[in-house]
Chain A
Amino acid sequence: MVMFWVSLLVISILLYLLLDGFDLGVGMLFGLTRSADNRSIMLNTVAPVWDGNETWLVVTGVILWGAFPIVYATLPSAFYLPVIIMLLGLILRGVSFEYRNKAQRSRWLWEVCFTAGSLAASFMQGVMVGALVEGLRFTNGQYSGGVFGWFTPFALLCGVGLCLGYALLGACWLVRKCEGLIRDTARRQIPILTVTVLAFLVVVFIYALVENLPIMHRWIDRPYLFIFPATGAVAALVLASNILHHNDYWPFYMVTLIFMSAFGTLALSFWPHMIPFAITINEGAAPPSTLTFMFWGEGLFVYPLMLLYAVVGYRIFRGKVGSMPGHY
């Protein structure tokens, strides 16, 4: 039962990373785009799906609270400021999205807010991942790092890394959904972003190995685990060939693979810890009566339904986007 909820948690986190990742990425690239018409088209590519993408953050949050209450109690409070700034960023960007299409004179302000919100949310998510990899300070099972326990050079570096990663996802999304100038610009951005993101991933991985010897031993003992980083490397090669051959469809999936392999590599390095070296999966899990109730009531039937909705939503809006106005 614990493993069932771990899998659902992993699926939800990955979906959030990939889906909100690309629309946050589009939000950041939006800030680099000069032409107002092109900016509108970029927004139209994410308009029907961005709020659906954010629901996966809520799903992740409530699965954590229900199935792993200790983790839910520990992480958002230890990451108090990053979580608040991330939420404010997400709100700012959601509100700007609505107002930008209605405002005339103040449109530039909403565009700045949209980019800033996307940037702040992405950066803070990266910072939290970085702080987790580096390890939070615990005494007797209680977080004891204080309000600024997450504030380290490495975590900030990870914040920058995730911003670039999301921008890469966003660029691939634009290549997939757009034509003309937007697609060509995005296609030029992809190689630069890919190289920096891969470099970042390698740095993070090596840092984790050097800082935590047990992780090093795990990788040396079980060489078959290298299938994860290897998949990422292959995906990067395919991505390069896609870009050279001007393929619009596959780059997004290749970057998805890179993200998944990076997630797998990190998660396996710390397995079975949910909060590295403080709380394991079993320590964090809710009592069986809770997990069983959630399994029958929501995990078994409702979760697949949610996945189905997401798939249907994306199928309805598949294909290239013209310059038609967004919804309501």
Chain B
Amino acid sequence: MDPTALFLSRIQFGFTISFHIIFPAFTIGLAAWLTVLEAMHLRTGRPVYQSLFEFWLKIFGVAFGLGVVSGIVMAFQFGTNWSVLSKMSGPIQGPLLSFETFWAFTLEAGFFGVLIFGRKRVPPWFYLFSTAMVALGTTLSAFWIMTNNSWMQVPVGYVVQNSDFVPNDWTKIIFNSVVWSRFPHMVLAAYLTGAFCVAATGAWYLLRGEYRAEARVMPRMGLGLAAVLIPIQLVFGHFVGDYVHDYQPAKFAAIEGRWHDEQPAGEVLFALPDPASETNRYEIKIPILGSIIGSMSLTSKEVGLTDFPPQDRPPVLIPFATFRIMVGCGLIMLAIAWLGSYLSVRHRLERSRFVLWSIFLSFPLPFIAILTGWYTAEVGRQPWVVYGLLRTADAVTPFLTAPAARSSCSAQFTCSSVHLFLRHLLHLPAPARWPLTIFG
């Protein structure tokens, strides 16, 4: 195995998956929002809901298409660059990912056609039904992807036969607490992403004084939803932390920046972890809080990274930093959602230009939170690709050479950056350009 090829494969996969997640994160929430709009339109008959629907449907279409294209590349990268993983965990990961294609893709693609072409061809109730099916499809897709990834985080329900992981209990693989805390965490994150993009777009139009009827609805609905969902998201985030604490203690220690066992443990708020000396520099720490967060106790002992041999430790700096960025984004979003909703209920939002500007500028936050959350989960799982069973270094295609990996890697980078550049030149509907230009 060629170390350069391994490194390039990891970079390439990380790049592909980061590029890809932007679009599903956006479309899952957007599909639900479209369903709500269509239902409101049917119930109230107000034209504002229909014009909002048509506006967001266009954006949904573009994001959906980009999600599909980047997803195809990802599906094949498992086979091209990670053939050992594909073979060993194929009996489990293969079916889970094929369920994603079969269940979700079918629903989405089938009913998406109705949304685009069918407004005049099908009765209104069926149009609403199609919108709901697209939303269900995007959510099911997230479910199978989360089931698959959760198995890589905490492998269950398998036996090892001829060095392959063979499933022996599918109910365990699908119905376990890891899946059912991480799946809601991801779906909520996607809904928040949709909510903030909608609210930011509305705020932008309010600031410019255009399309007032539509622009008023967007921040009200977006922020109202976010104001309710963010506290729930924090609870699910805590559940996700619990599984990491119980099943992946090394990752947990890395996130916490805890080098040595502590009893009771403190919580590091900020620090610069230094792997060479196995200590933190510039540390700000609250005593006992670490035990409360980790084990809901005032006295529990929490493990440190030095309990694990160096070859089994994840890199510390990335999970430590990305976790804090994710939580920070969440807290800023909470403040904006609550403040904005309060002003909106009081009918003062339109006059508060400062708040409108903050809402408009907040749209990258959910994307950043999702990316950093995934970096925490995936980098924190290292050096394993299937936790405790298969190391990332052993999963790469054995005969892959550095030049081959480099050529495909650079070709993909070039294509994506050309694409990124062109998006800026494109004339998409105005503010819709923002989330897509910057991240797409």
Contact = CB atoms under 8 A, between A and B. Distances in A.
Given A55-B109, A328-B61, A91 B69 contact: yes
A92 B98 contact: no
Which among A67, A79, A287 has the highest number of chain B CB atoms within 10 Å?
Answer: A287
A164 B18 CA distance: 37
A165 to B, nearest CB: 22
B3 interface: no
A11 B431 CA distance: 43
A61 interface: yes
Contacts of B95: 66, 286, 290, 293-294, 297
A192 interface: no
Contacts of B86: 65, 69, 72-73
B98 A63 contact: yes
Given A66-B94, A286-B90, A77 B397 contact: yes
Contacts of B62: 98, 328
A293 B93 CA distance: 12
Interface residues of A, number: 60
B105 A58 contact: yes
Contacts of A58: 71-72, 75, 101, 105
A52 B65 CA distance: 11
Nearest to A306: B106
Interface stretch (A142-150, A153-161, A200-208, A224-232): A142-150
Interface in B76-130: 76, 78-81, 83-84, 86-87, 90-95, 97-103, 105-106, 109-110, 113, 116-117
A270 interface: no
Q: Is the interface of B mostly helix, strand, loop or mixed?
A: helix
Q: Is the interface of A mostly helix, strand, loop or mixed?
A: helix
B427 interface: yes
A275 B59 CA distance: 43
B424 to A, nearest CB: 13
Nearest to A95: B419
A55 B412 contact: no
A261 B199 CA distance: 56
Nearest to A290: B91
B3 to A, nearest CB: 17
A289 interface: yes
A290 B94 contact: yes
> Which 8 A-B pairs have CB atoms at the shortest separation, nearest pair first?
A69-B90, A76-B79, A66-B94, A73-B87, A62-B98, A65-B94, A77-B83, A298-B102
